């Protein structure tokens, strides 16, 4: 049987090569025939005829030939909406990648997401493969308590350092069958860190084996979440295919000015993932906060929070705001001038933090006010440090 399979595979491989060989012959005859003798041209043409005769032409229609590639009306009509494990961040049944520099908070974020998923969806089972974290640090993340609380619904792997990649790949292979055997369950596999778990070839990730089992888990309705690193140059520490082969990716960054972790969508594919920000205290993620405020400098963040506090008591005109900022020494403390204040008032008005109207009966003065509710503000960093 194995000889028959090998013979069939060789036949298929040869057939797949023929169109490319014919194309190469056509290119030679078109672009380089002046370099060939008459006999060589005749030989090349005869070789093309031989290959065309050897090529097996399918009698299938284009619809039948690419049946698995074309959508049917029923498939589109009955398509399910995206199911989110974490809203606007982790879609179910996908391969996603979270990447960033060392120590930015990738693992902290995934542990937080794991808790949310387990709490919100009782049919979820998470297997966290950790190839990167010391045992003492694992305890700091509260992993022991999660194992105790969720039992078989939360498994934490990576204890053995011998042949970690081989053991991890065998585990992934087993999970494929488990997901098929229990279709009512949603298995979520977290791989942290990918470069230590995926098979390698000559010192680099073996691209041919990248996501080999992960794709099968996804096809069985499981979810894969990958954690990997950037090198010192700010690019993938291994292969760019890590991102290219994924369904979506996030860059994870840390903003020390605002004690926050930022999630920046890099490859959205067909999923409507969004930028997110999370407040951090004592290396623990406290809550989600406004991304726009978190993704700015300390002085600008302080400015936005100050104005929001000011306008929460009612509208104020431009002159009153400027007078207040001078009274609290805001301009001198952060070394910004009046022009910068006006620029920031305009910038964050356009971004929807507050609104303004210019009133003719008030000598064209601009009055600022808050129209809508906002997300949790960043804390007063000065008070935290006190």
Looking at residue 87, what is its pLDDT? Answer: 95
Closest CA to 106 of 198, 193, 164: 193
The per-residue pLDDT for range 74-86, each reduced to its tens digit, is 888 887 889 999 9
Could you tell me the residue ranges of all domains in the chain?
2-76, 84-294, 298-385
Looking at residue 381, what is its pLDDT? Answer: 45
Looking at residue 383, what is its pLDDT? Answer: 41
The per-residue pLDDT for range 53-66, each reduced to its tens digit, is 888 877 777 877 78
pTM of the full structure: 0.69
The per-residue pLDDT for range 7-42, each reduced to its tens digit, is 888 888 888 899 899 999 999 999 998 999 999 999
- Domains 84-294 and 298-385 fall in the same CATH topology: no
The per-residue pLDDT for range 256-274, each reduced to its tens digit, is 878 899 999 999 878 999 9
CA pair distance 143, 161, nearest whole angstrom: 19
CATH topology assigned to domain 84-294: Rossmann fold (3.40.50)
CA pair distance 275, 253, nearest whole angstrom: 11
Give me the torsion for CA of 210, 214, 218, 222, rounded to 10°.
-160
User: What's the CATH code, domain 298-385?
Assistant: 1.10.10
Contact (CB, 8 A) for 228 and 243: no
The per-residue pLDDT for range 214-259, each reduced to its tens digit, is 999 999 999 999 999 887 666 766 778 888 899 999 999 998 878 8
Looking at residue 283, what is its pLDDT? Answer: 78
SS3 content of the chain, % helix, strand, coil (to 5): 45, 20, 30
Contact (CB, 8 A) for 117 and 188: yes
From residue 241, alpha-carbon distances to 98, 238, 247, 249, 273 in Å are 14, 9, 12, 12, 20
Question: Given pLDDT bands bounded at 50, 70 and 90, which one contains residue 373?
Answer: very low
Looking at residue 233, what is its pLDDT? Answer: 67
Looking at residue 237, what is its pLDDT? Answer: 65
Looking at residue 1, what is its pLDDT? Answer: 61
Contact (CB, 8 A) for 268 and 122: no
Region 292-298: what's the mean pLDDT? 84
Question: Given pLDDT bands bounded at 50, 70 and 90, which one contains residue 372?
Answer: low
CA pair distance 84, 308, nearest whole angstrom: 32
Name residues whose C-beta falls within 8 Å of residue 338's C-beta, 6 or more positions apart in sequence: 322, 331
CA pair distance 265, 243, nearest whole angstrom: 12
CA pair distance 327, 24, nearest whole angstrom: 78
Q: Where in the chain does DSSP place strands (E)? A: 84-86, 90-91, 95-100, 124-130, 154-157, 186-192, 200-201, 204-205, 223-229, 248-255, 260-267, 276-281, 284-289, 316-317, 355-359, 365-369
CA pair distance 240, 65, nearest whole angstrom: 32
3-class state of residue 367 by DSSP: strand
3-class state of residue 296 by DSSP: coil
Report the length, in residues, of the chain: 386
From residue 10, alpha-carbon distances to 5, 7, 52 in Å are 9, 5, 18
The per-residue pLDDT for range 196-220, each reduced to its tens digit, is 888 888 878 888 889 999 999 999 9
Looking at residue 194, what is its pLDDT? Answer: 85
């Amino acid at each position: 049987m194995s000889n028959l399979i090998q013979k069939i595979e060789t036949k298929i491989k040869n057939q797949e090569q023929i169109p490319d060989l014919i194309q190469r012959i056509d290119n030679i005859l078109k672009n380089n025939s002046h370099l060939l003798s008459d006999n060589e041209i005749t030989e090349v043409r005869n070789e093309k005829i031989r290959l065309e005769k050897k090529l097996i032409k399918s009698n299938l229609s284009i619809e039948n030939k690419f049946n698995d590639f074309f959508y049917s009306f029923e498939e589109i009509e009955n398509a399910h909406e995206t199911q989110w494990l974490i809203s606007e961040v982790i879609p179910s049944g996908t391969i996603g990648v979270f990447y960033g520099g060392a120590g930015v908070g990738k693992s902290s974020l995934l542990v937080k997401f794991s808790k949310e998923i387990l709490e919100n969806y009782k049919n979820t089972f998470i297997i966290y493969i950790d190839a990167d974290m010391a045992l003492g640090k694992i305890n700091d993340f509260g992993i022991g308590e999660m194992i105790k609380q969720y039992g078989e619904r939360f498994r934490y792997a990576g204890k053995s350092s011998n042949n970690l990649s081989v053991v991890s790949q065998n585990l992934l292979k087993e999970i494929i069958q488990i997901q098929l055997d229990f279709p009512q369950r949603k298995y979520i596999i977290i791989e942290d860190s990918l470069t230590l778990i995926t098979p390698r070839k000559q010192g680099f990730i073996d691209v041919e084996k990248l996501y080999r089992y992960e794709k099968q888990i996804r096809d069985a309705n499981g979810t894969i979440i990958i954690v990997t690193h950037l090198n010192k140059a700010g690019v993938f520490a291994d292969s760019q295919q890590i991102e290219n082969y994924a369904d979506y990716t996030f860059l994870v960054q840390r903003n020390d000015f605002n004690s926050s972790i930022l999630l920046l969508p890099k490859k959205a594919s067909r999923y409507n993932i969004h930028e997110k920000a999370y407040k951090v205290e004592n290396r623990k993620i406290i809550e989600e906060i406004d991304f726009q405020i978190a993704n700015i400098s300390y002085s600008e963040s302080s400015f936005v929070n100050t104005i929001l506090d000011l306008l929460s008591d009612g509208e104020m005109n431009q002159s009153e705001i400027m007078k207040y900022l001078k009274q609290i020494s805001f301009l001198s403390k952060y070394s910004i001038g009046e022009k910068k204040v006006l620029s920031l008032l305009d910038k964050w008005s356009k971004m929807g933090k507050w609104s303004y109207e210019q009133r003719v009966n008030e000598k064209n003065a601009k009055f600022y006010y808050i129209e809508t509710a906002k997300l949790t503000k960043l804390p007063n960093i000065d008070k935290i440090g006190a």
